[in-house]
Structure 1
Amino acid sequence: MNRTILLLSIVLMLNGLQGKSQVTVNNLRCEYLDNPLGIDEARPRFTWQLTSEKSGMSQTAYQLSVGRDQQEVAGGQGNSWKSDIVESSVIPAVYEGPELLPFTRYFWSVRVLNDEGQWSDWSQPAFFETGIMYPSGWKGSWISDGNGFDGNSIQVKQAPYFRKEFRAGKAIRSARAYIAVAGLYELYINGERVGDHRLDPMYTRYDRRNLYVTYDVTAQIKRGENAIGVVLGNGWYNHQSTAVWFFDRAPWRNRPAFCLDVHITYEDGSTETIVTDKSWRTSFGPLVFNSIYTAEHYDARLENKGWSSPDFDDKQWKDVLNRAAPSRQITAQALHPIRHTQEIPAKEMKRINDRTWLFDFGRNIAGVTRIKVAGEEGTVIRLEHGERLDSIGRLDMSNIDQHYRPTDDSDPFQTDIFILSGKGEDEFMPRFNYKGFQYVEVTSDRPLELSKENLTAYFMHSDVPASGNIHSSNETLNKIWQAGNAAYLSNLFGYPTDCPQREKNGWTGDAHIAIETGLYSFDGITVYEKWLADHRDEQQPNGVLPSIIPSNGWGY
């Protein structure tokens, strides 16, 4: 009798397993991004992948659920939209529901029908958050520091710093910062840098389209007194270095400016928006020069300790200036950002004399270096970055500086300048620049003690996910593949470039040659979609496109 019951139980279990789906849905992405914040797309696209123990399993239909309640969406009952069953093996799927609200988090889930007629379970929900979406959604003003407002603003070398204090009077449920910038920026709240992106926002045709970035700043804003700080860089917007492509003659060129809205939702459901307006304060700081093309100059003696924290004394700071928006189109930056993806210690350091050292990082990269060093106040350190050495083992930049046309010796190519404070260990790393290099020759105008540990390199590029891999028994072939990937990534900075040192231009021909190789190894679609939007910005009424995109007007 017991054996009969056991056999029946096994048969029933096997029958149940036959009816259960052999496929699960994962890797849910919206607009090709994982749980994106601040998208402006009215009809976002959804993609996913299937996992099955059975080889060759495929999708024949799918159904989507979208809503603001995570639990309901997980059960396929989203209150915003539930699609019909769509008979298709093709993705992406496109949102077809009611109009999405701005500043709103939506959850979404999907189930699929496989080629054996079995439905998967509803996937674990993913989410996306809409951003500002419409121009009327912005509440803040565009502001700048007003230096050089007498007609010489584009020649002012020092980077502008901005700050504002505010009080959050209640417990905070959530907070988002939306920042649009003409130029580059770093955002700080209560003394802490927000996010890990570099060189935001991405380069566009600034007089036709500007990008804004969204951050979840719930953890940074506290109940009580708070402070916001912003430092602006020139980027390609106010290009002060001179080269054969006339970056300095761009039609949009102006002193950097920005607009910021911080939306705070309190636990009681009330909301507050902190905005850029005439109440902000501005001053100079230690960043005395920055060029995305050449380098940065930093004077540690001018540091304003605590400038982005509450209770900082800003009585000596000045009023800001209202500015017009640089273009009519301010839209969300929806792509994989530039990041420091790898920290690289020096492989070797050679002391040439008591004021000169040569660092070798063992590989060629695009990125920056960070130096930590103590020395006398006013000590001037120069960090020259290059890709090769000359016949006597000194840095040789003759292969990368031939297109540079300096007007004087104040802006040396790929050479950071760092002035020490004399107050213990100083630290410097460029914020608004990157270079192509393997070697760094460090010189000081006074004797210093340096070791390999004083200088660290950071590989940086658009942080696109890896999507392919090659490995063979032939190490030479493996190294060729690795070198190709490194070269591709070293030329991906929100748009594909030809080189990370002498030009940094978005040559369309170079990008066309590299794209197939790149996309076998990396999921770079978000960068290329942004770059295609750059094409639309640049295309003339007769259809003509320039040779480099984005362009300041050169190359038509």
Structure 2
Amino acid sequence: MINIFDLKTEFDKNPIGINTSKPRFSWKYECSADIKIKYYQIKVSTTKKLLDKNKIDLWDSGKKLIINNNFLIEYSGKKLKSRSCGFWKIILYSKKSQEFVSNEVGYFELSLLKQTDWLANWIGFPAGRNGKALYFRNSYEIQPNIFKSRAYICGIGCYEFRINGKKVGDRVLEPSQTQYGKTVLYSVYDITNYLKTGKNVFGAIVGNGWYGMPKLIVQIEIVYNNGNKQIIITDGRNNNDVNLWKVSDGPILSNSIFDGEYYDANYEKIGWDKPDKNEKDYIHGKEWIYSMVVDSPEGELISQTMEAVRIVGSLKAKTLTEPKPGVFVYDNEQNLSGWAKITAKGKPGTKLSMKFSETLNEDGTVNQEHLRFALAKDTYIFSKNSKITWEPRFTYHGFRYIQLEGYEGKPSIEAIKTQIVRSDLDVTGSFKSSNPFLNKLHKAIIWTEFSNLLGVPTDCPQRAERMGWLNDMTARSEELIYNFNVSRFLPKWLRDINDSQESTTGAISDTAPFRWGARPGDPVCICNVIIPWLLYKHYGDYRVLNEQYNWMKKSVQYFLSRLNNFILEDSYIGDWAPPLNEAVKGSIGTSAVSSKTPGSLISTAHLYHSLILLTKITDVIGLKDDNDEFLKIASRIKKEFNKRFWDKKSGGYASNNQACNSTAIYMDLVPENRKENVINNLVKNIEDHEFHLTTGNLSTKYIFEALSKFDKIETAYKLLIQRSYPSWGFMFEKGATTIWERWEEATGFGMNSHNHGMYASVGSWLYKSLAGIRHDEDSVGFSKIIINPKIPSQLGSVKASI
């Protein structure tokens, strides 16, 4: 009759370590058509036993009317504090007063909400160990009858936590990178099943990651059945040195996100993370020394509530070749992000190396020219005659091909297994059509995103860059939210953007965390305004609008301060990376600046779009004065935009090319009496180019939206399925399995990624136009859904879900 399921707190299933004392609850239900749900009731208790007995000691919402299908309900009970937990259930009521109680029980637990909750100190080895990973350990006596135990831990750049010889959890490359001077993410683990009565050893391996010098902070809190508590921390010399951890280096002689990992088994410390009868060896031995309290990275410690990076799957290579004696190349026939796991035999001193790349040289070896200075190479050295299975810890690569050298004899194709590594987001969208090309395009988009979701939405996974570019996400964010559940992932990245924002001027940076590009960033970097609106519209996340509003407002005000007669002249990225014959030869980004699309047009249009979004946001959160002001400025910008860029003779904007006209249409900058001319010019331009794109990373999204807006679906479809250069079809004809950075097939040194998210932006159009799945403009969280597929005559069918 009815099934209530998928109870979540803060968009997560039974989370431990949430960062708010006002958690929000959500759920799903399925029921027969004769049941009309009208009310809900949430009950929250401190224990499941109390909840089962209907003894509600935290919050009873009472019977509440469901308004606009809102299933994101904020807790409003007794005050919660650090470490507070709750068990909850949902009761639904029909219009006929039928009562339905969820069989499923939800759980949540708060993190350490205040910095003063931390008793631990950061430890490390201040002088560094020449790029090596650091190994930390300490032993403690644990009593029997544990009620609950939690480990709060962060190791930067990235770490692996171990107890009694076992890795805790399945996370890798933890924590996600941040602007460390502002925010540092820690993880919360339930470690009860890892502990035993008596001596226990806690250990951590900490690599360089994105930080560069290993540092560790650990706070373990154990509550026993009798109410006693035990706290274990990383600390300096005090309290009889009980919390004075030991540190050493080990077999990871070098580790780098870009360059790879160098592992020498001769330096392994067998049993270092297990209880030892002679603990003095770890105090007075030659290899271990006392760790030292080191400077904090300064950022606020907050719990990482977004999805962790994990090994989400593995691939066996499709082919194995030997282009040169002793050089073996594995081909996965799929571009991806991750690393290789190898099984091999070797003699003492044997050196195995694995190099990674997306493309091959003419001689069949891997081509790494376009990786800039990234070595993308993992190395293992044998210490004895043995058979090993090994994989790195503190690096990742973007690749299709693996080149193995140093292997004794000839390896089998099973000797190497590719580990697929990414943020473990749920795939929520599916798309399939009667045209295999569209299915291939959708698959390539998904694999491109798989490769570029590692704590931040990166531009590429392979070269010495891998940054969260805001201009790419201006176009790409809607595609991302149609294909994946990003309800926790994108709010984290919004904090990265905030942390990277200039505090006095409000200027945002090109990348977040800010490690590349410029600050102020290019005016097309408006995803900090787009994403909160998308999160609100898709998930009903009202809170994100309030939390982000002042940050958004400041960034827009900065660009407003740069106006010259209501035109924004600032531009150096613009409509990035169009086909080479549409670009300025020799310009930055390997000739990536458009020669025919004025940067001032693109910048002004994006500022206008930001203002329109802010008017919608201020309308929702109730800021009338700001709303009126933004509407007034937007109106003036639209007027001056048309005065400056409208070309009466051509009947289009600026150069009358695809980018100029589609941007003006998409941003709603075209007056009513000019729309017919502009769309007709756009269609004619496409036809004149024989249904080839001339657009860059932004207007490639806008051109399809513009065509659909005026029901030019046949034109849009012919443009989409084009097979010759420049097009997605051209990429596939050349063997692409992910979306390229450039329309050209380029492999040399320069901006030539073969796994890049910005041209994946067309993915949202597949859902919105071909499948016709859209939310009603006045609805939130798809409470009202519009299904209006626009099927071109050449396409038989489309099947999609979100």
Separation in structure 2 between the aligned mates of residue 184 and residue 156 of structure 1, nearest angstrom: 17
Matched, 1:234 2:214: no
Match of 2:524? none
Match of 2:118? 138
Q: In the TM superposition, what whole-angstrom CA distance separates every residue of 1:324-345 from its partner, at most 9, and x where no partner exists?
A: 3212511110011111111111
Provide structure 1 residue ranges, at least 5 long, that are not aligned to the other structure. Answer: 1-21, 239-254, 405-411
Q: In the TM superposition, what whole-angstrom CA distance separates every residue of 1:22-81 from its partner, at most 9, and x where no partner exists?
A: 5432111111111011122111111111111228x6653322111112143346542111
Matched, 1:501 2:481: no
**Sequence identity percentage:** 30
Separation in structure 2 between the aligned mates of residue 209 and residue 395 of structure 1, nearest angstrom: 38
SS of match in other structure, 2:336 = strand
Work out whether residues 164 and 228 of structure 1, in 8 Å CA contact, stay in contact via their aligned partners in 2.
Answer: yes
SS of match in other structure, 2:431 = coil
Matched, 1:185 2:159: yes
Separation in structure 2 between the aligned mates of residue 50 and residue 336 of structure 1, nearest angstrom: 24
Match of 1:437? 399
Separation in structure 2 between the aligned mates of residue 118 and residue 75 of structure 1, nearest angstrom: 21
The structural deviation recorded for 1:207 is 0.5
- The 3 A distance-change label for structure 1 pair 122 and 383 is closer
1:43-442 counterparts in 2 under 5 A?
A: 43-54=22-33, 59-74=37-52, 77-87=55-65, 88=67, 89-114=69-94, 117-146=97-126, 148=127, 153=128, 156-238=130-212, 255-278=213-236, 279-311=244-276, 313-314=281-282, 315-316=285-286, 317-398=288-369, 400-402=370-372, 404=373, 413-442=375-404
Work out whether residues 132 and 207 of structure 2, in 8 Å CA contact, stay in contact via their aligned partners in 1.
Answer: no
The structural deviation recorded for 1:173 is 2.7
* Cα RMSD for the two superposed structures: 1.9
Separation in structure 2 between the aligned mates of residue 166 and residue 448 of structure 1, nearest angstrom: 47
Work out whether residues 17 and 110 of structure 2, in 8 Å CA contact, stay in contact via their aligned partners in 1.
Answer: yes
Matched, 1:548 2:548: no
Work out whether residues 467 and 515 of structure 2, in 8 Å CA contact, stay in contact via their aligned partners in 1.
Answer: no
SS of match in other structure, 1:476 = helix
Work out whether residues 345 and 455 of structure 1, in 8 Å CA contact, stay in contact via their aligned partners in 2.
Answer: yes
Q: In the TM superposition, what whole-angstrom CA distance separates every residue of 1:358-401 from its partner, at most 9, and x where no partner exists?
A: 11112111111111211121122221100111222221122x31
- The 3 A distance-change label for structure 1 pair 50 and 548 is same
Aligned partner letter, 1:461:
R
Work out whether residues 154 and 187 of structure 2, in 8 Å CA contact, stay in contact via their aligned partners in 1.
Answer: yes
SS of match in other structure, 2:51 = helix
Match of 2:433? 472
Separation in structure 1 between the aligned mates of residue 201 and residue 70 of structure 2, nearest angstrom: 48
Q: How many residues align?
A: 502
Aligned partner letter, 1:212:
Y
- The 3 A distance-change label for structure 1 pair 525 and 373 is same
Separation in structure 1 between the aligned mates of residue 99 and residue 382 of structure 2, nearest angstrom: 65
Separation in structure 2 between the aligned mates of residue 482 and residue 51 of structure 1, nearest angstrom: 29
Aligned partner letter, 1:72:
L
SS of match in other structure, 1:102 = coil
SS of match in other structure, 1:471 = strand
SS of match in other structure, 1:120 = strand
1:467-546 counterparts in 2 under 5 A?
A: 467-502=428-463, 503-540=465-502, 541-546=504-509
Provide the TM-score with structure 1 as the length reference: 0.86
SS of match in other structure, 2:17 = coil
Work out whether residues 286 and 300 of structure 1, in 8 Å CA contact, stay in contact via their aligned partners in 2.
Answer: yes
Structure number with greater Rg is: 2
- The 3 A distance-change label for structure 1 pair 122 and 416 is closer
Match of 1:8? none
Aligned partner letter, 1:37:
I
User: Which portions of structure 1, spanning 4 or more consecutive aligned residues, are displaced by more than 3 angstroms?
Assistant: 57-60, 74-77, 113-119, 446-449, 472-476
The structural deviation recorded for 1:420 is 1.6
Provide structure 2 residue ranges, at least 5 long, that are not aligned to the other structure. Answer: 237-243, 520-802
Separation in structure 1 between the aligned mates of residue 390 and residue 272 of structure 2, nearest angstrom: 17
Which structure has the higher relative contact order (CA within 8 Å, separation 6+)? 1
SS of match in other structure, 1:550 = coil
Mean CA deviation greater in 314-323 or 79-88? 79-88
Q: Pick the structure with more strand per residue.
A: 1
- The 3 A distance-change label for structure 1 pair 208 and 319 is same
The structural deviation recorded for 1:109 is 1.3
SS of match in other structure, 1:307 = coil
